[in-house]
Amino acid sequence: MEAVEAVEARYKEAGYFLAQAYLPPQKIRDGDIEILITEGKLGEARLEGESRVNPDVVFKYLDRIPKGQAVTMANVERQILLINELAGERAVLDLQAGETPGSTDIVLAQTMGAPVIGRLDVSNHGSPSTGEKRVGISLIGNSPWNLGDQLSANVMATETGNLSSYNLRYELPVGGDGWRLTAAASLAEYSLGGNFASLNASGQAKSIRMGAAYPFLRSRASNLNFQIVADHIQLNDRIASVDLDLGKRSRGLTATLSGDWLDEVWGGGSSRIDLAWRHGVLSLGPTSAALDAFPAGPGTAGGFNKANLMLMRQQAIHPKVSLQMQLNYQLADKNLDSSEKLSLGGPLTLPGYANGEASGDSGGQAKLNLRWQIYNDLAVGVFADYARLRLAHTPLSTAASNHKRLSDSGVNIDWNVFGGLTASAILAWAGKEAPNPTDNDRPRLWFSMAYTW
């Protein structure tokens, strides 16, 4: 029996999770025994329960699992995970004996997902010039056309009214192998206040993006995804105090390869890597072109390329303690427009500094965060960040340094208050590097609250 169990275990390790080994009636001669294996074949696939997704859409995924052949865990797991990524679909896999001997039927128990998900956000993540306190509302429609598609809209405004943004996005699954098409449009309008109010400056940014994504690898333990996005961005700025109108247009293509995986290294953890390449063309209006012309200007007009790398490791240290390590890096082939530079400062990058404290054409950042999960709904952490920027690929002057270093440290807290209400706070201190003259050396407190329904 030990030999039978060993053979069956070997098959299951290879992914044939339905395999069964047994001893047929036989006469043992010379110590040799015969062990028969039924690898397990897929019979039929059935749906039970109700879903917002049309059954024909779900069966496109199920039909890719080979029928009448040996079934592997990789075949089934990929397709079931992709089905559960359809908006409005919640499905649990059940395996039942098929009508044909040795076959197994797949039964998906479906439950109806929420038709609409809403989220209200409140934070102080803005800047003094356009308003620090922000309020945003997002609505997500799940499978509005019963295709597993998703339509989302977001509106955000600051308490001063100096900044508002509007975003609309649509995502459509295509076929049964994980392809997705996306389309998005956004509009942002601003006017500067605070220390810049005398400029009487305002502006508008419009963008349209279209893309496609495909999962080369999809499993619970590891994933590899590819995405390509084409965009068109129109920026218009006006400084009324000097009667100056600045316009520019950018067209670009961004390709991203991202992967993540789980492992048992040093007690277990997760890793992620994102690698992106972007090519774009910047076109400038007459006034902007005159100010940009090299050698007096930075020479950002025309084609440009940049690459971005993100490495992240979440390492378990104790059942309730983990260490997150992250590295971000950008490399450009020329002087970039401000909208394409690596910008640092604010709660998402360097919370010890104001939003947009520094930006550069190339540079990198290292982040460390030690997190303690005190309770299931409460976690605290301590963090430290370090960044180094190359301000310009080709500096206009060699008199000043073309590099800038920034660092900070602090504490953060995440709290699931109740139901769909969450709250987060960050208290951070800037490093010894001198801040901008308009800034100060006090610690910065960032907070945010969100309610999801």
Tally of CA atoms within 13 A in the half-sphere of 328 that contains its CB: 15
Mean pLDDT of 200-220: 97
By the 8 A CB rule, do 299 and 290 touch?
no
Q: Verify that 152 and 90 share a domain, yes or no.
A: no
pTM for the model: 0.88
Q: Verify that 128 and 103 share a domain, yes or no.
A: no
Report the SS3 class of residue 14.
Answer: coil
Question: Phi-psi region for residue 178, left (φ > 0), alpha (ψ -120 to 50) or beta?
Answer: left
Single residue among 93, 112, 131 that ends a domain in this structure: 112
Q: Verify that 13 and 141 share a domain, yes or no.
A: no
CATH number of the structural domain spanning residue 406: 2.40.160.50
Q: Verify that 282 and 400 share a domain, yes or no.
A: yes
By the 8 A CB rule, do 211 and 170 touch?
no
Would the pLDDT of 11 be above 90?
Answer: no
By the 8 A CB rule, do 234 and 243 touch?
no
CATH number of the structural domain spanning residue 98: 3.10.20.310
At 411-420, the pLDDT tens digits run: 999 999 988 9
Q: Verify that 241 and 319 share a domain, yes or no.
A: yes
Neighbours of 111 (CB within 10 A): 12
Residue 61, exposed/middle/buried by CB under 10 A (0-12, 13-18, 19+)?
buried
Tokens of 46: 């059935």
| Position with higher pLDDT, 440 vs 158 | 158
Domain that holds residue 55: 2-112
Single residue among 80, 112, 144 that ends a domain in this structure: 112
Tokens of 438: 């308009």
Q: What are phi and psi of 289, to 5 degrees?
A: -65, -40
Q: Verify that 179 and 270 share a domain, yes or no.
A: yes
Q: Verify that 154 and 212 share a domain, yes or no.
A: yes
Would the pLDDT of 235 be above 60?
Answer: yes
CA distance 232 to 208: 5
By the 8 A CB rule, do 307 and 330 touch?
yes
Would the pLDDT of 438 be above 60?
Answer: no
CA distance 308 to 265: 27
Choose the most confident range, by mean pLDDT, from 15-29, 217-231, 285-299.
217-231
For residue 215, the cross-strand partners are: 225
The dihedral of CA 355, 357, 363, 365: what is its sign?
negative
At 66-106, the pLDDT tens digits run: 877 777 778 889 999 999 999 999 999 888 877 777 778 88
Q: Verify that 232 and 132 share a domain, yes or no.
A: yes
The dihedral of CA 8, 9, 14, 17: what is its sign?
positive
The dihedral of CA 14, 16, 20, 22: what is its sign?
negative
Q: Verify that 410 and 288 share a domain, yes or no.
A: yes
Poorest-pLDDT segment among 100-104, 252-256, 263-267: 100-104
Single residue among 70, 88, 112 that ends a domain in this structure: 112
First to last CA, the chain: 54
The residue type found at 348 is: L
CA distance 47 to 98: 15
Which secondary-structure segment (H or E) carries 211? strand 201-218
Q: Verify that 124 and 47 share a domain, yes or no.
A: no
Q: Verify that 106 and 225 share a domain, yes or no.
A: no
The dihedral of CA 139, 140, 146, 147: what is its sign?
positive
Would the pLDDT of 43 be above 60?
Answer: yes
* Domain count along the chain: 2
Q: Verify that 347 and 398 share a domain, yes or no.
A: yes
Q: What are phi and psi of 35, to 5 degrees?
A: -120, 125
Residue 311, exposed/middle/buried by CB under 10 A (0-12, 13-18, 19+)?
middle
At 359-403, the pLDDT tens digits run: 999 999 999 999 999 999 999 999 999 999 999 999 988 778 999
